[in-house]
Structure 1
């Protein structure tokens, strides 16, 4: 029997994503993917409010998602809409939610950082081969989640306020970039990690898995250059040197970097570099999935229970 299609929508601080799937066997089978770089966190003003321009950018994306929901004949009860760091913190999140409701016909669930970490981990486990204790790092636009787990068991999780969009605004908005910009970013990562740094290192791990666009962008550069897709400190140091040689924010001289990822590339590399150095990471591999896949797994179970 054909199961109904369902849609997992995640509203991140950098990208909005939608996965549409049906269950085959006992696993979600993705039939369509939609994504747009909304860069919500870019629109946070000094008053802590989202600008109307960025709100409209987000609503335009949700209107497109709504068209796709109709096209795929998704029922409202088979949709989950999850929002993360930016809508957790801005003062006019309620305005955005109210204006989005008639577009999607479904309320937005703004989840806590801890719930986000849980869903990221479950999305990683469902999509990424590997055994033993794993450290999962998901660098988003405005927050970074750290999870240590073994199999399906989560041993540690936290969500911290650092991300590629917010760090880009704070440290990397003035070209050409300098070594001092990377130093300032590392200092901020150290302050933000604070007491969690010792806990993470004491728990330890067998391997490190990275999720999100920051990691994906580095892996895409390595793939374009036909190099190993494993991220190391040497790889990040080389990319930093290339970034420092760029004259403008397009980073056109970084071979293999997609233009869409260029605006937050320096900030993502800086956060990764700081984490490698502060946590003693040697190798990091790209996760097969994260938050959106975790939401999809949650939704698949809900649809199954409703059947």
Structure 2
């Protein structure tokens, strides 16, 4: 059996094609495209025309690739940008009519569950852990241990939302940082309450921005690690703090010149660093693990 998974994120559309045999699961193809569906008006709940067009054109290309691989089953999931957009259903209809791809808009709760299933497959969950997935539109938190999911929630404080609302200076000003952190603190009160009870001692970063942090560290120190082939990566906490503080305090031009930083994340990574650092500081966590398996692998697991 061949499966295609399409993850329509707020910033990036992902396509993963895998083949299942009785003995194993083999990834045949994967790609991602920086569609930036949340560009411009995500906080106004609108997919702007340019982003709408980019999204449909990307799905048309994905459809051609899927046909070439003679896939048996396709599951396409849309998250925060489509979920919250007033014209999200129009986008779903256009995808069906123009790209022959049927999109399922999933809730934040379903998104968190699928992220958990994906991360679980990576083998990253050993102790009581907090999974964090920083998307463009939303951020998901999942409290879990090696045996079960304990608690989960999706928050509308994604990097694209916060960036469009607050990030106007270059480099980001202290005032803007304080406004972002005040917003985050106010949103995450129930997260801190549940973590007070369960005391997670590890933060597991689900792909995305955390892959960027890992790439920057690997490039800086010339480590012999290939993130694209790894399931997990254990951060040295001091190296992590050093690179994220550098990102937060750098100008756009300085960040753009950093080896390992893709154009899509040049500004978004500042917000992601603020979010992750605030969460770890507030919860007194100093162990950080990257899981390269995320929602896509969770969706694949659901198909299997």
**TM-score of the pair, normalised by structure 1:** 0.88
Deviation at residue 238 of structure 1 after TM alignment: 4.9
The Cα offsets for residues 147-169 of structure 1, whole Å up to 9 and x where unpaired, read as: 11223521111111111111221
SS at match of 1:19: strand
Question: Which residue does the alignment assign to 1:259?
Answer: 263
- Displacement after TM superposition at 1:231 (Å): 5.7
Q: Distance in 2 between matches of 1:152 and 1:24?
A: 26
Matched, 1:65 2:62: yes
Residue 288 of structure 1 corresponds to 292
1:198: Cα distance to partner? Answer: 1.2
Contact 1:250-1:263 within 8 A present in 2 as well: no
Partner residue of 1:21 out of 6, 18, 23 = 18
Task: State the 1:139 CA deviation.
Answer: 0.7
Aligned-residue RMSD, C-alpha: 2.1
Match of 2:226 in 1: none
- Give the whole-Å Cα distance in 1 for the aligned partners of 2:39 and 2:280: 26
Within a 5 Å distance, the mapping from 1:1-307 to structure 2 comes to 4-25=1-22, 27-44=24-41, 47-75=44-72, 78-226=73-221, 230=235, 232=237, 235-236=240-241, 238-246=243-251, 248=252, 251-300=255-304
CA contact (8 A) 1:82 1:109 kept: yes
- Cα distance, 1:123 vs structure 2: 0.5
Q: Please give the secondary structure, in 2, of the residue aligned with 1:106.
A: coil
The whole-number CA distance in structure 1 between the counterparts of 2:84 and 2:18 is 30
Give the unaligned 5+ runs of structure 2.
Answer: 224-232
User: By how many angstroms is 1:8 displaced?
Assistant: 0.8
Indicate if the aligned counterparts of 2:124 and 2:289 stay in contact, CA closer than 8 A: no
Residue 256 to residue 179, structure 1, CA distance change in 2 (3 Å): farther
Deviations 1:202-235 (A, max 9, x none): 2122422111321111111011112695163773
**1:42 match: secondary structure:** coil
Contact 1:20 1:31 in 2 (8 A): yes
Structure 2 CA distance, aligned partners of 1:94 and 1:234? Answer: 43
How many residue pairs are counted as aligned between the two chains? 294
Give 1:179 shift: 2.4
Structure-1 separation of matches of 2:57 and 2:264: 18
The CA deviation string for residues 139-188 of structure 1, in whole angstroms up to 9 with x for no partner, is 11111111112235211111111111112212223323222222222111
CA contact (8 A) 2:16 2:30 kept: yes
How far apart are 1:107 and its partner, in Å? 1.8
Aligned equivalents of 2:237 and 2:193: distance in 1? 21
- Once residues 15 and 192 of structure 2 are traced to their aligned partners in structure 1, the CA distance between those partners, rounded to angstroms, is 33
Question: CA contact under 8 A between 2:212 and 2:260: conserved in structure 1?
Answer: no
Moved more, 161-170 or 254-263: 254-263
Aligned residues of 1:14 and 1:141 also touching (Cα < 8 A): yes
